[in-house]
Amino acid sequence: MNIIALGPAGSNGHSIARKIQSSIIPQSSISFVDTNDDVLKKVAGGGCIGVVPIENSYEGWVREVVRFWLHAKARPYVIGEVHLPINHQLLVHSSIESVKQVSAVISHPQALGQCRNSLLALGITETQSEKSTSLAAEKVAIGALDPTVAALAAPIAGEVYKLKVLKEHMEDDGDNTTRFHVLGGQPMPSTGKDKTAMLFFAENKPRSLYNALSCICMYDTNMSSIHSIPLGKIGKYAFYVEFDGHIDSGEGKQIMKRLETVTKERIFLGSFPRGEYI
């Protein structure tokens, strides 16, 4: 079995893939792709599992992942979740001795957002966006950038690319955690401690969102995540939600049946065991 993660090596997804490899699928291999979209597409094609970030405790939902769910013709299922405490390190070329020498920082936009205040406190205002934190680290390591440019990336990236750690814990929030979805080609059976992820489309009229959420809450079901997703026109939104319970349980079936009466469209993303922390 192949595990697909956002690459190159040294990403937070790589850390999750390592965990799966060591504790669940020891005979697996790990492969890397350029974008989270590519992870989702590979898993939808079958024969592998994947990991993608879905939500950060500081920056909120991961836009590129949720938008893939909206438009994809083939979708993988969410079969698990892992919570990863985030430690962003300021990684630099060996020639850099102090923060005063850093002219700019490169990283994924999510990481830059999670470290915004820490960067400003260090007097670093110039930032560059990259496809992944690990690609930013790789570029610093191979000399593809001016040596005064630092990367914001995970400790695993510093290890992989042998970069100097100028400063640890750059994240603004000490409780910064990213939740990852584990993806597979087949839905998960009930384990008795599950949650369900889905998208629904509500009309732009009074009580439409209230009516949809009432379908979930009327069973005293906990809703652990909700995000509104703009659809390109003012007043047009889809909603991403997660709630406790499995889609095949009695309550799960009733929730979906009631949602059919008050929403325009529903996309079931998966029922899966509730979170594991590493």
> What CATH number does residue 76 fall under?
3.40.190.10
Closest CA to 164 of 96, 68, 69: 96
Q: 112 in a domain, yes or no?
A: yes
Q: How many domains does the chain have?
A: 3
Same domain for 98 and 163, yes or no, is yes
Reported confidence tier of residue 203, pLDDT bands at 50, 70, 90: confident
What is the mean pLDDT of the segment spanning 168-189?
94
**CA dihedral sign, ordered 62, 66, 72, 76:** positive
Task: State the pLDDT at residue 59.
Answer: 86
Domain of residue 150 covers 89-167
24 in any annotated domain: yes
User: In the numeric block, which tokens belong to residue 70?
Assistant: 């909206």
Q: Is residue 172 part of a domain?
A: no
**Predicted structure pTM score:** 0.90
Runs of H (alpha helix) within 115-218: 116-121, 133-141, 155-161, 208-217
pLDDT of the residue at 238 = 94
Strand partners, 41: none
If asked whether residues 81 and 109 sit together in one domain, one would say no
Confidence band, pLDDT 50/70/90 cuts, at residue 223: very high
Burial degree of 38 (CB within 10 A; 0-12, 13-18, 19+)? middle
Any idea what the CATH number is for the domain that residue 259 is in? 3.30.70.260
Q: Are residues 12 and 70 in the same domain?
A: yes
Q: What is the pLDDT of residues 205-215, one digit of tens each?
A: 899 999 999 99
Same domain, 273 and 199: yes
Q: Which residues pair with 255 in a beta bridge?
A: none
95 and 81 belong to one structural domain: no
Contact present, 196 and 246 (Cβ < 8 Å): yes
**Domain final residue pick, 157, 184, 211:** 184
Shared-domain flag, residues 16 and 34: yes
How crowded is residue 116: how many other Cβ atoms within 10 Å of its Cβ?
16
- Do 108 and 154 lie in one domain? The reply is yes
Based on the domain organization, do 246 and 227 belong to the same domain?
yes
- Looking at the structure, tell me whether residues 108 and 72 fall in a common domain: no
Band (277; pLDDT cuts 50, 70, 90): low
Mean pLDDT of 43-54: 94
Residue 189 within any structural domain of the chain = no
Would you say residue 104 has pLDDT above 90?
A: yes
CA 68, 71, 77, 80 dihedral sign is: positive
